[in-house]
Amino acid sequence: MTIVGVQIIVSAFGLLMLYNLFIHWKKGSIGNRGAIVWLILWAGLIWVTLFPKSLEPLIKELFFIRLFDFITVTALIVLTYVMFENHIRINKMQQEIEKLVRKLAKKK
């Protein structure tokens, strides 16, 4: 597969995710702040895919050899952050459920 084929596939995926984001934002299942963050991420993916040379000065400044290396490190950082946030929110939800269950048990 040529680089143009990869660009088409990744751009189509990015557009699909932007559409999915819009649908969830309209339904209210994602807030404005979250929508903006995801919009920046998906639009950034599309931008980097279509214009990979636009990041060359940044890549050279950060001492990366290839764009792929930079994107891989950035993706790992983003995934780590998202996993951490999910962990914190799940723990908070578990505590709230535990409080609710205790409260309901005391009523009965």
Q: What is the pLDDT, as a whole number, of residue 101?
A: 95
Q: Mean pLDDT, to the nearest integer, of 35-63?
A: 93
In this model, does residue 20 exceed pLDDT 80?
A: yes
Mean of per-residue pLDDT scores for the chain: 93
Compute the distance between CA of residue 20 and CA of residue 25 in angstroms, rounded to an integer.
9
Q: Mean pLDDT, to the nearest integer, of 29-41?
A: 94
pLDDT in tens, 57-105: 999 999 999 888 998 999 999 999 999 999 999 999 999 999 999 999 9
Q: What is the pLDDT, as a whole number, of residue 6?
A: 87
Compute the distance between CA of residue 95 and CA of residue 83 in angstroms, rounded to an integer.
18
Report residue 1's pLDDT band, with 50, 70 and 90 as the boundaries.
low
Compute the distance between CA of residue 46 and CA of residue 39 in angstroms, rounded to an integer.
11
